[in-house]
Amino acid sequence: MDEWHETEIRVRYAETDQMGIVHHANYLIWFETGRSEFCRAKGFSYKEMEDEDDALMVVAESYCRYKSPAYYEDVITIRTRVTEIRSRSLRFFYEIHRADDDTLIAEGETLHVVTDSNKTVRTLPEIYRNRLLAKPEKSFPADQAPS
């Protein structure tokens, strides 16, 4: 579970405040982007989990520590990894770096409880546990990921 998956994105104007600094709420959105791309690199998508196996990863906790500002037009790298897999929950850890100088901008984590579509807590299907523990296939920028 020590392997990182990296996703690059460029900060959009809409993600910044009047000073051109990224608004704090966007970091949780970027965590989700990193998490989605991490899962795709492991061979599945959220949609597949939900549609085919009635397994949803509900965010139960989120944490973000801001280290340095990100600005409009910065290219950032979202580094994502799984730090804990339990029978009914998963924990992801994230680092966000400025790509051109590798400055650590933020770090955080999210805890997810696995539920079914009726919001009943359930066991993480074994297929996803195995895929999450497997080596990633390949990393793609979010806008160039295979469909």
Residues annotated as catalytic are 17
Q: How many CB atoms neighbour CB 113 within 10 A? A: 18
Both tokens assigned to 77: 């790298």
Judge contact between 91 and 116, C-beta under 8 A.
Answer: no
Q: How many CB atoms neighbour CB 88 within 10 A? A: 12
Three-point CA angle 145, 4, 74, nearest 5°: 65
Cα 38 to chain center, whole Å? 6
Side-chain-side CA neighbours of 85 within 13 Å: the count stands at 16
The residue whose two tokens read 């009914």 is 88
Both tokens assigned to 105: 């901008």
